[in-house]
């Protein structure tokens, strides 16, 4: 069976070495030394002032929305994982959907501008597949209207855009460390910010609102990461270069073997050092996509429809029209891509895909 992704596991003894330390100290969670060690590594890796390891990416997004004080309307993208939209709804904000740019799959700044009302308090944009949102245009819009700009940078680990880590743009960003992501802590997420005021709020909000054992700043939630999560991150971290180069090799192979097939392979945007986190392809029609998906499934190969359906159509939001997203979403498919994926497996996937498209 070949899934769209497969978790990277470091050698077991490298993980158990961290576990031995946890057993020695008896410190299992609550801001332990491994969490601090991983946060230190990630702060310099991303080049931001503050990072916070959080129990998962979705809770991290919810904390970011709270810390930024978003309420009323928040302009967001219909083309993302459902957690982007559901986090807003969960926090009592109204998701207002702007449309996406068909070249990058990310929010179209002109469409964002058109959706601003007096009720708008923020923008929540996703760097889809690790492709950069229009960071300069969105910053200009946010700054000129006094809106907070939050990025769902779940896919952006290891992406560098115009000389700085993609996850360092915006007022605050979230990177997901779920087991299926490029870098992971089993479950986990990271909040990144250069703003001291947001950092302070995040620090107490992820810890029940504590300001000392018997003193509370404000309402909080339990967003802490455990030592076991941090241990996994520390054990995976030394393999990053290898993970990235294996992903690049398989991506390059897909591009070569799919050349001439009647589908669009999005090109890597200029100025981006890419992480090869996903290999998306865009079919001309949904019927083509379904044909290919069925053919691959017959061989127990499971690509995923990232992202479908377009989130402006889920049943708990006010329906708003986003023609570009609604056109791309039914036609976008992510092919299997992970460090262990073999060259022969990519060749097989491409052969099945070409045959399904009637192109041997
Ligand atoms: C994975 C993902 C999330 C959720 O992160 P978790 O760590 O799984 O909670 C949110 N947004 C996007 C775009 C994702 O891909």
DSSP 9-62: ---HHHHHHHHHHHHHHT--SSS-HHHHHHHHHHHHHHT-SEEEEES-HHHHHH
Question: What's the chain's average pLDDT?
Answer: 97
Mean pLDDT of all residues in 230-237:
98
In this predicted structure, the answer to whether residue 359 has a pLDDT above a threshold of 90 is: no
The DSSP symbol for 177 reads: -
The answer to whether the CB of 171 is under 6 A from ligand 1 is no
87 CB near ligand 1 (under 6 Å): no
CA 5 vs CA 170, 244, 322, 334: distances in Å: 28, 14, 29, 10
Q: Which whole number is the average pLDDT over 302-315?
A: 97
Decide: 95 in ligand 1 pocket, CB within 6 A. Answer: no
The residue to mutate among 87, 152, 275, having the most atoms of ligand 1 within 8 angstroms of its beta carbon, is: 152
Please count the CA atoms within 13 angstroms of the CA of 176 that sit on its side-chain side: 24
d(CA 308, CA 305): 6
Is residue 176 within 6 Å of ligand 1 at its C-beta? yes
What is the structure's pLDDT at 360?
60
Q: Is the CB–ligand 1 distance for residue 56 below 6 Å? A: yes
Pocket test for ligand 1, best of 107, 178, 311 (most atoms within 8 A of CB): 178
pTM: 0.97
pLDDT in tens, 136-165: 999 999 999 999 999 999 999 999 999 999
- What integer is the mean pLDDT of 164-177? 98
Rounded average pLDDT over 288-311? 98
For residue 89, give the H/E element and its range: helix 82-90
Q: Are 137 and 108 in contact (CB under 8 A)?
A: no
- Give me the residue label for tokens 């605050």: 172
Atom of ligand 1 nearest to the CA of 126: 13
Q: Does residue 126's CB lie within 6 angstroms of at least one atom of ligand 1?
A: yes
Structure token pair of residue 241? 């270069």
- 263: pLDDT confidence band, cut at 50, 70 and 90? very high
Contact 57 CB / ligand 1 (< 6 Å): yes
Tell me the pLDDT band of 212, cut-offs 50, 70 and 90: confident
User: What distance in angstroms lies between residue 279's CA and the mean position of ligand 1's atoms?
Assistant: 17
All structural domains of the chain: 2-238 (3.40.640.10), 239-356 (3.90.1150.10)
Radius of gyration of the chain (CA): 21
Q: Is the CB of 158 under 6 A from ligand 1?
A: no
- Can you tell me the distance from the alpha carbon of 246 to that of 338, in angstroms, rounded to the nearest whole number? 8
CB 132 within 8 A of CB 102: no
Q: How far is the CA of 180 from the centre of ligand 1 (A)?
A: 9
Compute, in angstroms, the gap from residue 216 CA to the centroid of ligand 1.
29
What's the Cα-to-Cα distance from 317 to each of 90, 92, 97, 99, 255, rounded to whole Å?
A: 11, 12, 10, 15, 37
Q: Is 154 in the pocket of ligand 1 (CB under 6 A)?
A: yes
- C-alpha of residue 152 to centroid of ligand 1, in Å: 8
Q: What is the mean pLDDT of residues 10-26?
A: 98
Q: Whose CA is nearest to atom 10 of ligand 1?
A: 83
The string of pLDDT tens digits covering residues 239-254 is 999 999 999 999 999 9
Query: Is the Cβ atom of 84 under 6 angstroms away from ligand 1?
Result: yes
Tell me if 306 CB under 6 Å of ligand 1: no
CB-neighbour burial class of residue 156 (10 A; exposed 0-12, middle 13-18, buried 19+): buried
Q: If you average pLDDT over residues 121-128, what whole number do you get?
A: 98
Half-sphere CA count of 292, side-chain side, radius 13 A: 29
pLDDT (0 to 100) of residue 358: 87
pLDDT at 114: 97
Q: Model confidence at 14, in pLDDT bands (50, 70, 90)? A: very high
Under 8 Å between Cβ of 66 and 91: yes
């Amino acid at each position: 069976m070949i899934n769209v992704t497969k978790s990277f596991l470091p050698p077991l003894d490298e993980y158990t070495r961290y576990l031995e330390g946890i057993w020695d100290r008896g410190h299992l969670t609550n801001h332990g030394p491994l969490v601090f060690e991983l946060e230190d590594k990630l702060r310099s890796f991303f080049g931001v002032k503050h990072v916070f390891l959080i129990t998962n990416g979705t809770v991290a997004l919810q904390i970011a929305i709270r810390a930024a004080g978003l309420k009323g309307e928040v302009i967001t993208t219909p083309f993302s994982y459902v957690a982007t939209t559901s986090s807003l709804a969960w926090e009592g904000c109204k998701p207002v959907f702007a449309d996406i740019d068909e070249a990058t799959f990310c929010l179209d700044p002109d469409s964002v501008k058109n959706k601003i009302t007096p009720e708008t308090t923020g923008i929540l944009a996703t760097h889809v597949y690790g492709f950069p949102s229009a960071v300069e245009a969105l910053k200009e819009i946010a700054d000129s209207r006094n809106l907070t700009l939050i990025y769902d940078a779940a896919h952006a680990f290891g992406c560098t855009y115009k000389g700085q880590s993609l996850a360092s743009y915006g007022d605050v960003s979230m990177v997901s460390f779920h087991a299926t992501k490029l870098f992971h802590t089993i479950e986990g997420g990271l909040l990144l910010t250069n703003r001291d005021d947001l950092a302070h709020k995040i620090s107490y909000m992820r810890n029940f609102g504590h300001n000392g054992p018997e003193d509370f700043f404000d309402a909080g939630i339990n967003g802490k990461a455990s030592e076991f999560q941090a241990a996994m991150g520390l054990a995976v971290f030394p393999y990053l270069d290898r993970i990235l180069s294996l992903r690049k090799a398989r991506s390059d192979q897909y591009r070569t073997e799919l050349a001439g097939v009647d589908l669009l392979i999005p090109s890597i945007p200029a100025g981006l050092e890419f992480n090869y986190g996903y290999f998306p392809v865009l079919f001309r029609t949904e019927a083509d996509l379904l044909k290919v998906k069925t053919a691959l499934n017959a061989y127990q190969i499971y690509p995923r429809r990232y992202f479908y359906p377009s989130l402006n159509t889920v049943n708990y939001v006010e329906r708003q029209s986003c023609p570009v997203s609604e056109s791309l979403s039914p036609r976008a498919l992510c092919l299997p891509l992970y460090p262990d994926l073999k060259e022969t497996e990519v060749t097989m996937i491409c052969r099945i895909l070409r045959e399904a498209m009637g192109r041997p």
